[in-house]
Structure 1
Amino acid sequence: MSFSLYEAVIPTQIQMLQAAQAWIEKAKESSHSESEIVEARLTDDMLPFAFQIKSLVSHSVGAVEGVRKGVFSPDLEPAATELEKMRLNLGAAENTLRALSKGEVDSFIGNDMLFVFEQRDIRLPFKAEDFLLSFSQPNFFFHATTAYALLRAKGLGIGKADFTGKLRIQRG
């Protein structure tokens, strides 16, 4: 079996982006105010829920765009502060990933790319596949887990099945 970068990254990101949209729908229906959810943090020195959701887009669609360009830098724009806008951003990211071809993503293998964070004078050289698998994918799951944990900490009725979303099971 040959390695497919597309299969290693894209379907699971789509799955998680769908799941996160459902979490936001449940957050919108909760008794908490929108600002209470948007600003939720696990600890004072951690970035809020809004940043966690923004980072799911950044480490999925943004990461693919970075690989295309050969350079990725953190998105320093402010995060959306409305739950519906967050849900729409996740949906747009999902749709963008769905439009990718396996051939294009697999063609990134072996390409050089650079992570640049100028504000911290950080420059990290990667091969595209190593950037996606060892940098963006772990970051994607970190922010997904943190967003989910923030909602659980607020008492939202979500569980493990909500975190994983729709599994890609065999149909038979």
Structure 2
Amino acid sequence: MPSQNIDSIKTIFQSRLTTLEHLLKSAQTHFSDSESFLHKRIATDMLPFGTQVAFTCNQPRNFALWCNGKPMDNLDPDVTFLAQAYEHIANTKGLLSGINVEDEKLSELIRIDLGQDLYIEMFGHAYVNDFLIPNFYFHLVTAYDILRMAGVSIGKRDYMMHLVPFLKKA
């Protein structure tokens, strides 16, 4: 695996946030601009679609904040309006675009407070690969699954949009 750098991490987050935005637009079209789908969930003990949008954005958001020397700051998880969802995505992309730090940042130790007096300490590369990326994809896939379950006509191509520029015809 090629070594990761700040720019490659930003690219991954940016492109997948574009996918999240595409999924949101697909749902908006499917539900005829009704915002009801923001409350849909897979199971009663799981968080709704709107919260999945916020939690998906939290990962690149906190990456950008960390890169810029600012404390972690999660978004409000109670996303009940489309405007909020789109704003979360746009603001997160903006934070990513504003990162201006050297790759050495990935060698720094970071402390992640988990609540209940629990925390994790890890170096930046592990923070990205073992904490942020798995959480990011978990919430992105959950958002995708909620929409599929709700009948939105999306498929793997919608989820893997970042590969579309590489498609070739034989």
After TM superposition, the score normalised by the length of structure 2 is: 0.84
Task: Give the conservation status (yes or no) of the 8 Å contact 1:110–1:128.
Answer: yes
Match of 2:146 in 1: 150
Residues 17-166 of structure 1 aligned to structure 2 (within 5 Å): 17-31=17-31, 33-35=34-36, 37-69=37-69, 72=72, 75=74, 77-101=76-100, 104=101, 106-118=103-115, 120-166=116-162
Separation (CA, whole Å) in 1 of partners of 2:26 and 2:69: 36
Give the partner amino acid of 1:125. E
Separation (CA, whole Å) in 2 of partners of 1:28 and 1:129: 36
Structure 1: 5+ residue runs without aligned partners? none
**Which of structure 1's runs of 4+ aligned residues deviate more than 6 A?**
none
Q: Which has the higher contact order (CA 8 A, sep 6+)?
A: 1
The offset of 1:159, in angstroms, is 0.9
Task: Give the conservation status (yes or no) of the 8 Å contact 2:64–2:95.
Answer: no
Task: Give the conservation status (yes or no) of the 8 Å contact 1:71–1:115.
Answer: no
Separation (CA, whole Å) in 1 of partners of 2:39 and 2:102: 35
Give the partner amino acid of 1:43. A
Give the partner amino acid of 1:169. F
The offset of 1:28, in angstroms, is 1.2
Separation (CA, whole Å) in 1 of partners of 2:16 and 2:10: 10
Q: Counterpart of 2:112 in 1: which secondary structure?
A: strand
Separation (CA, whole Å) in 1 of partners of 2:128 and 2:49: 23
CA gap 1:113/1:165 in 2 versus in 1, 3 angstroms = same
Task: Give the conservation status (yes or no) of the 8 Å contact 1:55–1:140.
Answer: yes
Q: Counterpart of 1:63 in 2: which secondary structure?
A: helix
Q: How many residues align?
A: 166
The offset of 1:5, in angstroms, is 2.4
The offset of 1:105, in angstroms, is 5.2
CA RMSD across the alignment: 2.5
CA gap 1:152/1:87 in 2 versus in 1, 3 angstroms = same
After TM superposition, the score normalised by the length of structure 1 is: 0.83
Separation (CA, whole Å) in 1 of partners of 2:108 and 2:86: 32
Cα deviation, 1:4-30, whole Å, max 9, x if unaligned, reads 322542211111100111111111112
